Structure formats: structure tokens, C-alpha cells
Chain A
């Protein structure tokens, strides 16, 4: 049962989960983007990097558990 639901959870995490976390971050922590902007990371770059890390991590976990 756990091994069947795990892939679904991981796929949800790295698709819907990312969109939800982006919306929540934008709503509650929008000002914090300036912290990263001063360090040279634009909002788009930050989102792209976060998505890449999430997808890579999730794919690795999926491959390991299957």
C-alpha cells in the first residue's frame, strides 16, 4: 500500500506542491524576494532553481523506491 501511494505523493509534491508553495510564498513572503535579488537571484531564476532541485530530488527518490 505504502509503495503504491509513494510515487503518487512524490509526483504531487513536485507538481501541485510547488505551485501551492509558490503561491503561499508570494502571498506571505513576497518581500523576501528582495533579499535574494540583492544576492543576484531574480524571482524567475529562484523559481527555476527551486523547481529543478525539487524535480531532480523527486525523480531520484522515485527511481530508488521502484
Chain B
């Protein structure tokens, strides 16, 4: 089934400072929307608003035309936060069933590359990159039709970064993704829609040239990933 997430005229302030102004775009099943922008431009704020943990000053979020009133209990949008939110004192083997009580869903995680060698370890004893990878796997395999990924590639070793991209492409047929990360090359590589947030507004972009022209990349920086 195809789903449509519509973001209409989202505006948000921190104090008197306008962070987001009239943000509107759509994300459908099959879309990988890449959000780019400098630190503090409002990327994470927008993700918090979409997830439902922050109320915007104005604007609306709809899924398949219906106003999204409580995303958390309706389980429409999953969110992998830029910080690790997994319980630290539980082993990987025990944390997976907390999200996936069923064996078939669990197997998707247990048989994912790299999980076998970490499953007996406590989450808190894994490296930050491993924790981020595990958090990513757990969130993308939830049954939510949309997934928000805040910095999924940061601190993750190159091999896992490729696996993350493969997984997103694999699930693209049944989900819509919104991704933001300063590893812009990885995001550009998989994104089907690319938006730059600058001065609180979104600008559609095509690639590195546009990022450079908009001041996100310094002149001559194209070609490096970061």
C-alpha cells in the first residue's frame, strides 16, 4: 500500500527566532527525502515536529489526507534520533524482542550483517557506531510506513554505512524515508528528493553544485564526504 505524508506550512520559533518558516513538502512510499542544511538550521527540529515530540507554532501534518494528531500512539512515523536512545544495560539479544515480539520480525534483525557478533554484548558496551547501527536496524524494521533518520551515518564505519544504504533501498518499496546527515555524499547517493533548509525555508536541490552554491559546502569542497 502506498502512503503519503504531507507537511504543510510548518512554522516554528525558538523564543523570537524563527527556525522554520512555511515548510511544505510531501514524502510518499518509495521516496527517500534528503534534508541538508548547516548546524542549527532546523533539520532536527523539523524531525521532532514530524515525530510528534515538538508542537509547531503553525502548520499541519497529514498522512493519506488525515490530520496526524498523535503520531506516537498511532505508530505512523518511526524516528532514529541522532543520539542513542537504546537501553544501555540490556544485551542486544534481549533488546530486540522489546520491539519485535514475533520470531519472524526478530530474525530480520538477528540475521542482519554484523548483529551475530554483538548479540551477547550489552548495548552500552558496544561502540557508538555499533549502537547507532543497531538503533537504525530496530527503527527501520518497525511496521511504521515512514521513517525519520537523523544522522544515521555519523560515527558508523564505512562497511556499515554501505549496509545502511542497502537496507534503506531495500525497504524503500514499502516505506518513505526522511534523512538528514552531514555525510552529504551518502545522503545524495540514496536520496530521490533533496531539500536544503536555509533561513528557515526549504529549497529543492539537485546535487553538490547546488549545496555549494547555497553555501552549505565551501567552494571547491565537492568530492569530499564531510
Binding site for B on A (CB under 8 A): 31-35, 37-42, 45
Q: Is the CB of B85 within 8 A of A31?
A: yes
Q: Is the CB of B84 within 8 A of A38?
A: no
Q: How far is the CB of A45 from chain B (nearest CB, A)?
A: 7
Q: How far is the CB of A56 from chain B (nearest CB, A)?
A: 22
Is B224 in the interface zone, CB < 8 Å from A? no
**Residue count of chain B within 8 Å CB distance of chain A:** 21
CA distance A32 to B85 in the complex (A): 5
CA distance A42 to B79 in the complex (A): 13
Q: Which residues of A contact B142 (CB under 8 A)?
A: 38
Is B87 in the interface zone, CB < 8 Å from A? yes
Q: Mark contacts of B64-85 with chain A using CB atoms, 8 A cut-off: 1 yes-contact digit, 0 otherwise.
A: 0000001011010011010111
Is B99 in the interface zone, CB < 8 Å from A? yes
Is B139 in the interface zone, CB < 8 Å from A? yes
**Interface positions of B from 98 to 153, Cβ below 8 Å from A:** 98-99, 138-139, 142, 144
Residue of B nearest to A40 (CB): B75
Is B222 in the interface zone, CB < 8 Å from A? no
Q: Is the CB of B72 within 8 A of A42?
A: yes
Residue of A nearest to B83 (CB): A31
Q: How far is the CB of A31 from chain B (nearest CB, A)?
A: 5
Q: Is the CB of A31 within 8 A of B84?
A: yes
Q: How far is the CB of B143 from chain A (nearest CB, A)?
A: 10
Q: Which residues of A contact B79 (CB under 8 A)?
A: 34, 37-38
For chain A, what secondary structure do more than half of its interface residues adopt (helix, strand, loop), or is it mixed? helix
Partner of A38, one of B83, B87, B139: B139
Q: Is the CB of B98 within 8 A of A39?
A: yes
Residue of B nearest to A32 (CB): B85
Q: Is the CB of B73 within 8 A of A40?
A: yes
Is B53 in the interface zone, CB < 8 Å from A? yes
Sample of 10 further A-B pairs with CB below 8 A, known A35-B86, A38-B138, A40-B72: A31-B83, A33-B85, A34-B79, A37-B52, A37-B53, A38-B99, A38-B139, A39-B98, A40-B73, A42-B73
Is B51 in the interface zone, CB < 8 Å from A? yes
CA distance A45 to B84 in the complex (A): 22
CA distance A45 to B74 in the complex (A): 13
CA distance A31 to B82 in the complex (A): 10
CA distance A40 to B53 in the complex (A): 12
Q: How far is the CB of A30 from chain B (nearest CB, A)?
A: 9
